[in-house]
Structure 1
Amino acid sequence: MRILAIETSCDDTGIAILEINPGGQPKMLADLVSSQVKIHAPWGGVVPMLAKREHQRNLLPLLTQALKENKLLKISKSEFLISKQISNSKFQTLKTILWREEFLLKKLLPFLKKYRKPKIDLIAVTVGPGLEPALWVGVNFARALAYLWHLPVIPVNHIEGHIAANFFQLEKISGKSKLQITNYKLLLPAICLVVSGGHTQLILMRQFGQYQILGETRDDAAGEAFDKVAKMLNLGYPGGPIIAKMAMKINPVFNTGQKSPASPSSSRLHWRDKAGRAKIKNITFPRPMIQTKDYDFSFSGLKTAVLYFVKTLSPAQLKKLTPAIAAEFQQAVIDVLTAKTLAAAKKYHAKTVMLSGGVAANDALRETLKLEILNLKLNFLVPPKSFCTDNAAMIGLTAYHRIGPEKLRRKKSNWRNIKADANLTIA
């Protein structure tokens, strides 16, 4: 059985193909991602209609590449097959499905006429949450293929996909990275911290498909705060990697007597460079909601605190202090995320803590949370960095785990019922 997975929730276009062997173990055949970072960078963030345009341009080339690499793309051998493949009635239906994606329809028709139906058994597609114009491109692409190829479509929650990415492991075998899947059933219940540009959530996972949202951001997501602070510091977009790189130039030294970086309710950080020379004293930003008993987050006040501090600086001072500001801002975010996650893990007697989403690629966050979780003698899972950002592989794996191989085989074509939902929740 082969699953074609499609991801277009934001600004990454993803196509993946997973193969399920008779024993039920997924195998990655293809995992391709086309990033739009350079296109959105001049705007300082993702522009939904630009993302929609680029998804239309990227989907078919990625699909073609994935199929060709696995020898799944066969040219139709006769004029009869080509003419019969798309009748006028089918063309009208395709036109109705892709009426908002005219460019994609124009490119898709020659592809469908030229090639036979590949040996794909079902399609998994992200239906939400995300940017609605972007989501619909992937959803309608899946619907069009499902209609013509008579395949079932599995709608997948994007957040659940990020959680599923925790079950990926890359192992070096003969110099190549091979995908491995962990046995997630032994690791539950779990606390899942999902942090990205659009979401910051703490989720209790009792088993695959059963979730409870314990807390989430009340305003800016963590990744969004990174982007906005990077803009204040004139560092560019996306903000997460740039701020992390700047923060690496500074080593935070915590005052004596402080219990842990994970719970600095009133930390005063004295920054030193890597040579140990004192650089800036008392650049301290708030840790919003770190003392509240709930599991919600708020990063708007932290962002505003950085803005007010930056406004007191001359351009020369800002340039000089940028590494220290970046380091303290990053540490403030990490402190709050870690403290809330630890509290939830203790409260709900978790066996595992999982970290996922784009911000999960941040080395400082990964290491801080890992140390704190291991101190509690709990399991800690975080995806390989390549699977922290949006990808279709996690969408295919979610469909497989959510439904199971036997039910997947019995699924019937249901393309008419698949819709995008920008505000879809996991629980």
Structure 2
Amino acid sequence: MLVLGLESSCDETGVALYDTEQGLLSHHIHTQMAMHAEYGGVVPELASRDHIRRVLPLTRACLQDAGKTLADLDAIAYTEGPGLAGALLTAAAVANGLGVALDKPVIGVHHLEGHLLSPLLAQPAPSFPFVALLVSGGHTQLMAVHGVGDYQLLGETLDDAAGEAFDKTAKLLGLGYPGGPALSRLADLGDASRFTLPRPMLHSGDLDFSFAGLKTAVLTLVKKQGELGDATRADICAAFQAAVVDLMTAKCWNALKQTGLKQLVVAGGVGANRQLRAGLDAMALKRRLKVFYPPLELCTDNGAMIAFAGAQRLQFARTAGPFAIRPRWDLASLPSTSQI
């Protein structure tokens, strides 16, 4: 079965073709980072308009790369939610339009499920069950994943998501947009031991996260330092990143202990962070566990994860027609399926 996946939930336009027998055939992503940099964050109206400009050319490019045509499609999957309402409408409209024109089924995919399942596109890939760390600009959650749609929330952030904390801290330090990657690059040049920052909820006894206090500690440190030189700024970045990695690593290990599972899956944009991967790999090696990541190019929002998740949910496909988007959508409401 050949599935076209369309992603337009925020500031990346992603299109991909996934074949249930041959795997991922092609994928293209256009990021809007440069456009939003002038404003220091995502402008929803601009994001929506750019998705409209990009989605059809990217679809043509995917089909051409794979040597396929629209007539070869068996189904179309798209991000139904959650996300920015205007942005979501682009993929929803194109997917349902193609469904009507081609008389093909259409599958609305939960954005977070796409991220959760994206490491299954890696080689080697994990098998069910596993603990998943979903860590991005909008979400920081630990879940026990027993199958497609069978997700148990173990813990989540009580305030800022990890990616949001990276971006806000970068802004405090006068770094450019997007802040998270800029902070991580500068952290590689710094000395994490120069400053001591807190690890909020490290010993809380549960699997929840909190990053607001860490962000406040950075603000206090910046004010105390006065004018920041390049070396000081790099050292603060390194100390902040080390604190986040310590928190993530400890919580992941606790989640694995509590569930008795031996596999950890990491997904979402922050999952591309090199220091986080190094910390989790070291933990896994010490504890004789396995950790899996999606390919780096599939950590951010992308059409491949949507096509793949859609392929797992073909039995829930519907006839194209009137459609709705879900800017807010609880992952727990998804039906479970054993297909994978």
TM-score by length of 1: 0.74
Q: Which residue, out of 41, 60, 67, partners 1:45?
A: 41
| Counterpart Cα distance in 2 of 1:412 and 1:368 | 43
Q: What is the deviation of 1:70? A: 3.2
Q: Which residue does 2:267 correspond to in 1? A: 356
Q: Which residue, out of 311, 315, 318, partners 1:400?
A: 311
Q: What is the deviation of 1:421? A: 1.3
| Counterpart Cα distance in 1 of 2:34 and 2:147 | 38
* Structure 2: unaligned runs, 5 residues or longer: 333-340
List per-residue Cα deviations over 1:140-167 (Å, max 9, x = no partner).
2211221222111111111111121111
| Counterpart Cα distance in 2 of 1:181 and 1:415 | 38
Q: Which residue does 2:324 correspond to in 1? A: 419
| Counterpart Cα distance in 1 of 2:331 and 2:285 | 27
Residue pair 2:264, 2:292 contacting (<8 A) in 1 also: yes
Aligned to 1:346, the other structure's residue is in SS state: helix
Q: 1:318-337 counterparts in 2 under 5 A? A: 318-337=229-248
- Of structures 1 and 2, the one scoring higher in RCO (CA 8 A, sep 6+) is 2
Is residue 155 of structure 1 aligned with residue 60 of structure 2?
A: no
Q: Which residue, out of 68, 74, 83, partners 1:130?
A: 83
Q: Which residue does 2:6 correspond to in 1? A: 6
Q: What is the deviation of 1:181? A: 6.9
Amino acid at match of 1:148: A
Q: Which residue does 1:209 correspond to in 2? A: 149
Q: Which residue, out of 340, 353, 366, partners 2:277?
A: 366
Aligned to 1:118, the other structure's residue is in SS state: helix
Q: Which residue does 2:64 correspond to in 1? A: 68
| Counterpart Cα distance in 1 of 2:59 and 2:129 | 36
Q: Which residue does 2:302 correspond to in 1? A: 391
Aligned residues: 332
Amino acid at match of 1:229: T
Aligned to 1:29, the other structure's residue is in SS state: strand
Q: What is the deviation of 1:27? A: 2.1
Cα gap change, 1:56 to 1:15, in 2 (>3 Å): same
Deviates more, 1:209-218 or 1:130-139: 130-139
Q: What is the deviation of 1:338? A: 1.2
Amino acid at match of 2:74: D
* Structure 1: unaligned runs, 5 residues or longer: 74-116, 170-179, 253-269, 272-282
List per-residue Cα deviations over 1:245-277 (Å, max 9, x = no partner).
11111244xxxxxxxxxxxxxxxxx33xxxxxx
Residue pair 2:14, 2:27 contacting (<8 A) in 1 also: yes
| Counterpart Cα distance in 1 of 2:210 and 2:67 | 49
Residue pair 1:240, 1:362 contacting (<8 A) in 2 also: no
| Counterpart Cα distance in 1 of 2:103 and 2:73 | 10
Q: What is the deviation of 1:194? A: 0.6
Cα gap change, 1:415 to 1:387, in 2 (>3 Å): same
RMSD: 1.8
Amino acid at match of 2:319: S
Amino acid at match of 1:297: F
Cα gap change, 1:356 to 1:66, in 2 (>3 Å): same
Q: Which residue, out of 336, 339, 346, partners 2:257?
A: 346
Cα gap change, 1:338 to 1:224, in 2 (>3 Å): same
Residue pair 1:152, 1:415 contacting (<8 A) in 2 also: no
Q: Which residue does 2:337 correspond to in 1? A: none
| Counterpart Cα distance in 1 of 2:137 and 2:328 | 15
List per-residue Cα deviations over 1:320-368 (Å, max 9, x = no partner).
4101100011111111111111111100011210111000110100010
TM-score by length of 2: 0.92
* Larger of the two Rg values belongs to structure: 1
Amino acid at match of 1:413: T
Residue pair 2:191, 2:239 contacting (<8 A) in 1 also: no
Aligned to 1:124, the other structure's residue is in SS state: strand
Q: Which residue does 1:239 correspond to in 2? A: 179
Q: Which residue does 1:303 correspond to in 2? A: 215
Aligned to 1:337, the other structure's residue is in SS state: helix
Is residue 59 of structure 1 aligned with residue 55 of structure 2?
A: yes
